[in-house]
């Protein structure tokens, strides 16, 4: 199996946890309040 495929497989659970996080979902769908985003940037 190529290295890239092994790396993707090894990181699959972490990637799913990242993209499934409520903050990331809210950024993605535009529902994150601006105050929360500003706090994140600070």
pLDDT tens, residue by residue, 1-42 = 999 999 999 999 999 999 999 999 999 999 999 999 999 999
What pLDDT is attached to residue 11?
98
What pLDDT is attached to residue 2?
96
Measured between alpha carbons, how far is 19 from 25 in angstroms, rounded to an integer?
7
* Full-model pTM: 0.70
Question: Which residues have a Cβ under 8 Å from the Cβ of 33 and sit 6 or more positions away?
Answer: none
Our CA angle for 36, 41, 42, nearest 5°, is 100
């Amino acid at each position: 199996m190529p290295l890239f495929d092994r790396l993707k497989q090894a990181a699959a659970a972490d990637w799913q946890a990242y993209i499934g996080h409520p903050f990331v979902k809210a950024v993605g769908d535009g529902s994150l309040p601006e105050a929360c985003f500003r706090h994140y940037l600070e």
